[in-house]
């Protein structure tokens, strides 16, 4: 009953406003969640450093524009490239040497990589929040049909859809994508087919980190306070999004991201009294999905056919 | 010619292969029979580079394979049809064939080979777009054979291709193994189904707990009393 009242009390403009916010946040979660799900799909590990890759990407973009005075569009391209390189480097340095070690060792190494990045960022950039530079037009507020929104909000879902389309094309319709899917199921036999699995894993990290960088740049424009720990909470939620969608499944991660992003915003909108609990929503969803469908929404049942 | 010499492979201190030597001459079918746990899979997996070798050597046409990675070994013309088939369940039938040709660049040759494999296995063509995980055991075995053929191997190693299949399907698989060999591919066949394996093999080895206990032509071993009793389920007279 309460919810109907809340909805009827809300004006159409207000609802549109919340939807825009929710879709933007959901898109950003989706872009970051893809990285978690792809790495899990191929290495069966949670890449804890992914959240900090997002944070580093924000700093790359920030310093590119403010300190190095590189035009913002060029900075964005450089940021994506640099972040991809960072992701690949982390895999090489922290995960590859443990390829044949127990999974727990790799997880611990991932936590270590995450701490290292956070502490390094605190040391180099200080813990003081830095302001992400205003980007012409994208950072400004515009009015669409009476709804006041930040211009970037129009682009976030579009960029996300483009990224997802390109990604699904790569994964499902290219030779590299085929190898990625094969490695994720049986890396030994993929090797016997002549697949260089180290290369495929590097490509996976490069793709996941690039998408994280794209998400991070838009995140910075949308939420311009940049700190060394800014990735932690979104990272956690995006991991949960990947689990909700069915870990290892790209479309699942996107759906999970949207559920969490929209859900979080709409709960605050309809139940302002619960706004202090907005971060708890993701965890409630996680508990709920683990209870009712442990494999996630699009997760596959693990049935082995004999 | 594949030459294995004094091969020793250990899993954490326990030797699964205790000094194996065998030859697989070009153009032949050589079979290796042995009970469960004898070390048959370990031998094939170490030849293809999936298992580290402790000592001894593997040579193929004069090139040393020991120390190379699987990718390098496969590029020399070897391939493995693994135990339990291990087709990629999340890839379509067609993709499983395509990934068999992963190292090849000749698109036309690949297309022609896919066509040829669909002629050998019409049932696979009907399931072209189906995920390989949805195939029956026999179909998966055919796909595993087809996938291996897609690399145009000179030497094809097969690990228990008859495992868990119905008698009629087993017959079909063995006919195909024979015709693969007649088309010029050397075969190293590992089997627990000694009867069928010895019938197709030119030469055979018997492996027991990591050692070769006996060798001879397929025919000789089929008539050997010890083999009859231990592997063919026939009592001594
Ligand atoms: N990955 C492994 N780790 C430890 N021991 C193994 C492993 N694989 C096989 N073994 C052991 O090596 C021996 C030979 O196994 P295997 O080569 O699979 O035999 P076969 O294929 O003839 O049944 C067995 O005693 C088996 O338990
Ligand atoms: Mg075996």
Cβ pair A181:B48 closer than 8 A: no
Cβ–Cβ contacts within 10 Å for residue B105, how many? 7
Predicted confidence (pLDDT) at residue A303 exceeds the cutoff of 60: no
- Kindly give the confidence (pLDDT) of every residue in chain B, 237 residues in length, as a single tens digit, with 9 standing for 90 and above: 999 999 999 999 899 999 999 999 999 999 999 999 999 999 999 999 999 999 999 999 999 999 999 999 999 999 999 999 999 999 999 999 999 999 999 999 999 999 999 999 999 999 999 999 999 999 999 999 999 999 999 999 999 999 989 999 999 999 999 999 999 999 999 999 999 999 999 999 999 999 999 999 988 888 888 888 888 776 544
A10 has pLDDT over 80: no
Please state whether the predicted TM-score (pTM) of the whole model is above 0.90.
yes
Residue with tokens 């700093």: A59
Band (A5; pLDDT cuts 50, 70, 90): low
Q: Which residues line ligand 1 (CB under 6 A)?
A: B 11, 16, 34, 36-42
Instruction: Say which ligand is closest to the CA of B209.
Output: 1
B159 Cα nearest atom in ligand 1: 21
Residue A300 has pLDDT above 90, yes or no: no
Which of A238-247, A271-280, B41-50, B101-110 has the lowest average pLDDT? A271-280
State the pLDDT at residue A306: 32
- Pick A188's closest partner by Cβ from B50, B90, B98: B50
- Cβ of A182 under 8 Å from any chain B Cβ? yes
Range of the domain at B33: 2-86+153-200+216-231
**In angstroms, what is the span from residue B47 Cα to ligand 1's centroid?**
15
**Which residue in A178, A184, A306 is closest to B99 by CB distance?**
A178
Query: Cβ contact (<8 Å) for B49 and A194?
Result: no
With H, G, I as helix, E, B as strand and everything else as coil, classify residue A47: coil
pLDDT exceeds cutoff 90 at A276: no
Residue B191 lies in a domain: yes
Q: How close B34 comes to chain A (CA, Å)? A: 22
The predicted-structure confidence for A153-165, as pLDDT tens digits, reads as follows 999 999 999 999 9
CATH code for the domain of B69: 3.40.50.300
Instruction: Say if B78 falls within a structural domain.
Output: yes
Q: Measured between CB atoms, does A305 come within 8 Å of chain B?
A: yes
State how far residue B79 is from chain A, nearest Cα, in angstroms: 7
Q: Do B71 and A194 touch (CB under 8 A)?
A: yes
Give the 3-state DSSP-derived string for chain B, with helices as H, strands as E and coil as C. CEEEEEEEEEECCEEEEEEEEEEECCCCEEEEECCCCCCHHHHHHHHCCCCCCCEEEEEECCEECCCCCHHHHHCCCEEEECCCCCCCCCCEHHHHHHHHCCCCCCHHHHHHHHHHHHHHCHHHHHCCCCEHHHCCHHHHHHHHHHHHHCCCCCEEEEECCCCCCCHHHHHHHHHHHHHHHHCCCEEEEEECCHHHHHHHCCEEEEEECCEEEEEEEHHHHHHCHHHHHHHCCCCCC
Domains and CATH numbers, chain A: 2-292 (1.10.3470)
Chain B residues at the A interface, defined by Cβ less than 8 Å, are: 48-50, 69-71, 74-75, 79-80, 82, 86, 88-91, 95, 98-100, 102-103, 133-135, 137, 140, 147, 151, 164
Task: Assess: ipTM above 0.90.
Answer: yes
Q: Which atom of ligand 1 lies closest to the CA of B42?
A: 17
Q: How far apart are CA B122 and CA B52, in angstroms?
A: 38
Q: Between B49, B86, B135, which is nearest A189 by CB?
A: B86
* Contact present, B12 and B180 (Cβ < 8 Å): no
The angle subtended at Cα B11 by Cα B4 and Cα B51, nearest 5°, is 50
pLDDT tens per residue, range A23-53: 999 999 999 999 999 999 999 999 999 999 9
Question: Residue B53 falls within a domain, yes or no?
Answer: yes
* A181 and chain B in contact, CB less than 8 A: yes
The CA B37 to ligand 1 mean position distance, Å, reads: 6
CB pairs under 8 A between A and B: 67
Atom of ligand 1 nearest to the CA of B40: 22
The pLDDT tens digits for A60-87 are: 999 999 999 999 999 999 999 999 999 9
195-234 in chain A: CB under 8 A from chain B: 195-196
> Does B160 reside within a domain?
yes
In 3D space, the residue among A249, A99, A304 whose CA is nearest the CA of residue A188 turns out to be A99
Q: How far is the CA of B13 from the centre of ligand 1 (A)?
A: 13
Count of the separate structural domains present in chain B = 1
Mutate-to-test residue for ligand 1 from B37, B160, B193, highest number of ligand atoms within 8 A of CB: B37
* CA-proximal residue: ligand 1, atom 12 (nearest): B16
Find the CB nearest A192 among B80, B134, B140.
B80
- CB atoms A195 and B133 under 8 Å: no
Half-sphere exposure of residue A291: CA atoms within 13 angstroms, side-chain side:
6
Q: What is the pLDDT of residue B110?
A: 97
Cα B44 to ligand 2 centroid, rounded to whole Å: 9
Nearest residue by C-alpha to atom 7 in ligand 1: B11
> Does the residue B171 lie in any domain?
yes
**Cα–Cα separations (whole angstroms), residue B129 to B115, B138, B176, B195:** 15, 17, 23, 36
């Amino acid at each position: 009953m309460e919810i109907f009242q809340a909805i009827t009390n809300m004006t159409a403009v207000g609802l549109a406003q919340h939807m825009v916010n929710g879709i933007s946040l959901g898109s950003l979660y989706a872009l970051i969640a893809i990285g978690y799900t792809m790495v899990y799909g191929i290495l069966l590990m949670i890449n804890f450093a992914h959240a900090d890759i997002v944070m580093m990407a924000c700093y790359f973009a920030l310093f590119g524009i403010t300190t190095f005075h590189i035009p913002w569009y060029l900075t964005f391209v450089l940021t994506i490239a640099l972040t991809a390189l960072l992701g690949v480097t982390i895999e090489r340095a922290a995960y590859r040497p443990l390829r044949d070690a127990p999974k727990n060792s790799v997880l611990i190494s991932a936590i270590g990589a995450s701490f290292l990045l956070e502490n390094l960022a605190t040391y180099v950039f200080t813990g003081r929040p830095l302001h992400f530079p205003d980007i012409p037009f994208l950072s400004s507020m515009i009015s669409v049909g009476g709804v006041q929104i930040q211009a970037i909000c129009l682009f976030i879902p579009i960029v996300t859809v483009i990224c997802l389309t390109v990604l699904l094309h790569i994964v499902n319709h290219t030779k590299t994508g085929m190898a990625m899917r094969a490695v994720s199921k049986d890396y030994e036999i993929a090797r016997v087919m002549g697949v260089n699995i180290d290369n495929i894993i590097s490509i996976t990290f490069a793709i996941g980190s690039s998408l994280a960088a794209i998400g991070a740049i838009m995140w910075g424009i949308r939420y311009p306070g940049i700190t060394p720990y800014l990735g932690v909470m979104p990272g956690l939620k995006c991991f949960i999004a990947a689990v909700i969608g069915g870990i290892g499944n790209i479309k699942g991660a996107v759906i999970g991201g949207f559920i969490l992003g929209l859900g979080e915003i709409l709960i605050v909108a309809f139940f302002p009294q619960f706004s202090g609990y907005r971060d708890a929503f993701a965890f409630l969803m996680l508990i709920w999905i683990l209870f009712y469908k442990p494999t996630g929404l699009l997760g596959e049942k693990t049935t082995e056919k004999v | 010619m594949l030459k294995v010499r004094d091969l020793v492979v250990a899993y954490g201190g326990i030797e699964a292969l205790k000094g194996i030597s065998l030859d697989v001459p070009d153009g032949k079918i050589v079979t290796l029979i042995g009970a469960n746990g004898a070390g048959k899979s370990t031998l094939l997996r170490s030849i293809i580079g999936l298992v580290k070798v402790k000592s001894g050597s593997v040579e193929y046409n004069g090139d040393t394979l020991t120390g190379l990675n699987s990718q390098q070994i496969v590029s020399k013309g070897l391939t493995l049809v693994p135990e339990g088939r291990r087709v990629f369940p999340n890839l379509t039938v067609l993709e499983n064939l395509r990934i068999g040709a992963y190292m090849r660049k000749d698109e036309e040759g690949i297309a022609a080979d896919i066509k040829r494999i669909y002629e050998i296995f019409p049932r696979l063509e009907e399931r072209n777009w189906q995920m390989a995980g949805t195939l029956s055991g026999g179909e998966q075995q055919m796909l595993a054979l087809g996938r291996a053929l897609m690399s145009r191997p000179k030497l094809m190693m097969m690990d228990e291709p008859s495992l868990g299949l119905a008698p009629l399907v087993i017959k079909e698989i063995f006919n195909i193994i024979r015709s693969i060999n007649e088309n010029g591919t050397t075969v190293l066949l590992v089997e627990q189904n000694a009867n069928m394996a010895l019938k197709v093999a030119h030469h055979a080895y018997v492996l027991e707990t990591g050692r070769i206990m006996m060798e001879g032509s397929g025919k000789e071993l089929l008539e050997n009393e010890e083999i009859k009793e231990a592997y063919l389920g026939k009592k001594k007279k």
